[in-house]
Structure 1
Amino acid sequence: MNRQLLLRRLNVCTYRLNNKYIPIDKPLAKIAELTAILPALGLFFLWHYFESFGISYFLYFNITDAIAVLYENLMLVVFIGVVLSPGLIALLLPDFLKKHKGLTKLSIVIIGIMIITGIGVFIDLYKFATIIKLIFLAIAAISGYIYFFESRNLGFWMLLALTFIYMYAIATQEAKYMMREKPKFNIVLKQHSEKPILKSNDTDKYFIFKTSNYYFIKDDNLNLIYAYSISTDEMTSFTPEK
């Protein structure tokens, strides 16, 4: 390929990227869907996390737990968004100051790269295998391209499916971490004050999870899981399902 032809093609690409970005589809209202979807993401995380320990979470279901765990896992995403926001503002401001008041395709591409980079940093914190990270990033990039340049509906549902897969993956990682590290510390409930439900020097018991209404403690020696109610005097124990 001669130099002039290469330069001509580069000029064409630059021209296309500098064109105004026009969405393929008109934006659709997603507020109603997200209102139902966001708690469902948290519920999906809790369901799989508890299933990893052989606990049927739906016996202890509370919608506030689903929302709380969702926000807990999204706080780092919010932090990364705040870190990236100065660069995004600097990138978007010139476009909005122009008369056409719209984004160029180049701006969309750069924004996409920044978002994918942020996702990569976020995923890396959970120590997934390299192949898993690459698959997540590739699907996220393809979904983002489809959302911006092909079909917003299809791109939205692809990103949503990826989010559910991601919640499944981090629930698996966190459950494995708890089983491996077996965290323990002093937990005393008012109605069980004569005996802590967990002590930092326990050799057989360890902490699993705390919901809005229950503490879950695992006893490896007896192969029992204890569910202590925070609001009542009730304590139940059962053998985890295999």
Structure 2
Amino acid sequence: MDDKVNPTKRFFLNLKDTIKQWFYNDEPINNNLSLDELLKSFIVIIPIHGNLYLCHYYLNFGISYFLYFNPIDFVYVFYSNNIKLLTFSILIGFLFIQLVLNFKTTQLLKIKPNILLSGLFLFTVLLSYLLTTKLTDFYILLISSFLLFGVAIMQKQSRITYYALIFLYFAYTIKLAYLEAAIVKKNKPNFTIVLNDKTYALQQDTTINHKDYFIGRVTDYIFVYNDSIKSVRVVPISEVKEIQFH
């Protein structure tokens, strides 16, 4: 590099080269990302996913999740939001692999493994959420767009591909939070929660237009929404004596 280049400019040029080299090259992703890096990324993804989902979900009801923060919530949310996807991925994955192995044509065997995996990923995610979640056409289109973009850029198996897919996953996490909040507002889940002092935090109401309903719970608190006055009652788990389902 020319010594006459301004030190500040040299710094940013070096930074640009470093970022470009680190994020993107033509080496296979398995050579570019070590198992250690993948595990570290996974550890980071869990709290970010949980934080994004919980903050945006409870924001729909005027609740600041940060007031009730507990890291255990992140693990539960990550598990509950992804266990269906994981289950379908495993089941469909075995079927998909068996179908591929049954074809002996040379042309099929020339298909790159990453293309097969990309197609499996796209098919599995769409089928899983269509079977387990009430999605509008808008959200189906949104998911399809994200996944098709992911499949397209996976032809270059690089770090930037890896992190682009993670970013898209987080974007969908936020959309999922708003979608499920809308479902709760529509269905208004309702049952009986009895407190230690024998009063009710929530009392089951079988009428169609009942006003009180269950929003959700975190590690230490339960949230009950009153639709008539648009307010949330926060009940500590330690004060709950029993929960009754009729």
Q: Same fold (TM over 0.5)?
A: yes
Aligned: 1:132 with 2:136: no
Out of 139, 142, 151, the residue aligned to residue 149 of structure 2 is 142
Aligned residues of 1:144 and 1:155 also touching (Cα < 8 A): no
Cα deviation per residue 1:22-80 (whole Å; 9 max; x = unaligned)? Answer: 82672312211221121210111000000010101100011111110110011111111
The change in CA–CA distance for 1:47 and 1:213 in structure 2 (over 3 A counts) is: same
Aligned residues of 2:85 and 2:129 also touching (Cα < 8 A): no
Residue 69 (structure 1) aligns with: 77
Aligned: 1:59 with 2:67: yes
Q: Whole-Å Cα distance in 2 between the matches of residues 87 and 198 of structure 1?
A: 45
Q: Whole-Å Cα distance in 1 between the matches of residues 167 and 79 of structure 2?
A: 18
Out of 19, 28, 32, the residue aligned to residue 27 of structure 1 is 32
Aligned residues of 1:92 and 1:107 also touching (Cα < 8 A): no
Any stretches of 5+ residues in structure 1 without a counterpart?
Answer: 1-21, 95-102, 234-242
Any stretches of 5+ residues in structure 2 without a counterpart?
Answer: 1-26, 103-108, 241-246
Q: Percent identity?
A: 26
Amino acid at match of 1:27: N
Out of 170, 174, 184, the residue aligned to residue 180 of structure 2 is 174
Cα deviation, residue 188, structure 1: 1.9
Cα deviation per residue 1:206-231 (whole Å; 9 max; x = unaligned)? Answer: 11111110010111223321101113
Residue 162 (structure 1) aligns with: 168
Cα deviation, residue 106, structure 1: 4.0
Aligned residues of 2:222 and 2:236 also touching (Cα < 8 A): yes
Amino acid at match of 2:203: K
Amino acid at match of 2:28: P
Residue 204 (structure 2) aligns with: 200
Aligned residues of 1:48 and 1:168 also touching (Cα < 8 A): yes
Q: Whole-Å Cα distance in 1 between the matches of residues 133 and 233 of structure 2?
A: 28
Q: Whole-Å Cα distance in 2 between the matches of residues 42 and 160 of structure 1?
A: 14
Cα deviation, residue 90, structure 1: 3.0
The change in CA–CA distance for 1:138 and 1:220 in structure 2 (over 3 A counts) is: closer
Out of 206, 215, 231, the residue aligned to residue 222 of structure 2 is 215
Cα deviation, residue 112, structure 1: 2.0
SS of alignment partner, residue 188 of structure 1: strand
SS of alignment partner, residue 30 of structure 1: helix
Aligned residues of 1:206 and 1:219 also touching (Cα < 8 A): yes
The change in CA–CA distance for 1:130 and 1:201 in structure 2 (over 3 A counts) is: closer
Amino acid at match of 1:86: F
Higher relative contact order structure (alpha carbons within 8 Å, sequence separation ≥ 6): 2
TM-score w.r.t. length of structure 2: 0.73
**Segment drifting more, 105-114 vs 75-84:** 105-114
How many residue pairs match? The answer is: 202
Q: Whole-Å Cα distance in 2 between the matches of residues 163 and 227 of structure 1?
A: 30
Aligned residues of 2:50 and 2:74 also touching (Cα < 8 A): yes
SS of alignment partner, residue 116 of structure 2: helix
TM-score w.r.t. length of structure 1: 0.74
Q: Whole-Å Cα distance in 1 between the matches of residues 117 and 220 of structure 2?
A: 42
Cα deviation, residue 105, structure 1: 3.2
